[in-house]
Amino acid sequence: MAEQWFEKQYADSPPTTSKKIHWHLNILYQHIGDRLFSSLERRDIVGAILPTQERGCIDTAHRLAQIASAVCLFAWGLGYTDRNIADRIGATLKPIPRRHRAAITDPEKVGGLLRRIHGYTGSGLSVRYCLNILPYLSLRSEEIRLALWEEIDLENAVWTIPAKRHEYGGGMKMRVTHTVPLPRQVVALFRELKEIREMNGGGELCFPITAEGLLAALRDMGYSKEEMSIHGFRTIFSTLARENNLNPNHIEKQLAHKEQNAVVEAYDRSQYFEQRRELMQAWADYLDKLRQAL
């Protein structure tokens, strides 16, 4: 039943997503994989999830609950059961602990961070360029790390990130295409990188690197995990852009946050593109001032 559900929902997903879903399913299979679906009770589903929670993997336990509920809902829709026996099963688990994603938000310290990035000579070419571009755009790690050259229009200074990237994964978190206006500083960095890439054989990916590679570079610069994270660049943008009186609606659109009000989301189709172009150029100029200040 789970494999039927998987084929229906994830047949066209990127390999990274498929592998992750199957990894979760295999945990459930260890406990109930050989059971007839019609013989399962709610307590069996809970029993398959609790060992993961007991090992301290609270996030994974909740993900197992979500997947189990989706499989059971699928079975219900096909008529194999008269109810979803895993409905809201996550309520039986410990709550997911709130986590603080480290970020530097003091403008003077942000300037210091930018100077370290600008002068960093460790790691490889891709890591260095990615870290120099990331503060300007404040994208999520996968969105920028798995960027494809075909997505980036340097002539018109716009990057169109697809809802998902089939081969490489790493599309938008909310699975909605996102257009990113590129300030002139970013266009210049991309042009430099592209020229170097083409002299060395090219390639589809702008930054063939891992999340671990970016983090390692930050640590190499002297920033601990309590001080700064890759996600922290989004926090820097969200915090300091507001402190500089930049439009909060345009900031939220640029961060590609999902509207929490379903009614507002249904009617708000505006992407504020031209306004975001002005926003991102103002943000890039502000970062340059912070970096150049001594």
What mean pLDDT value characterizes the chain? 86
* Three-state SS at 74: helix
Angle at 60 between CA 54 and CA 62, to 5 degrees: 90
pLDDT above 60 (res 167): no
Domains in the chain, please, with CATH?
A: 2-92 (1.10.150.130), 107-292 (1.10.443.10)
Q: What strand order describes the sheet that includes 152-153?
A: 152-153, 158-161, 178-181
pLDDT in tens, 109-163: 999 999 999 999 988 899 999 999 999 998 988 888 888 999 999 999 999 988 7
Task: Find the mean pLDDT for residues 63-80.
Answer: 92
219's tokens? 């640590």
For residue 79, give both structure tokens: 């008529």
- The beta-strand segments (E) located in the chain are 152-153, 158-161, 178-181
Does residue 270 surpass a pLDDT of 50?
A: no
Please tell me the predicted confidence (pLDDT) of residue 129.
96
Per-residue pLDDT, averaged over 67-92, amounts to 90
pTM over 0.75, yes/no: no
Q: What was the pLDDT predicted at 269?
A: 40
- Reported as a single tens digit per residue, the pLDDT across 176-215 is 788 899 999 999 999 999 999 888 887 888 998 888 888 8
pLDDT, position 136 = 96
Specify whether the CB–CB gap between 259 and 265 falls below 8 A: yes
Would you say residue 249 has pLDDT above 80? yes
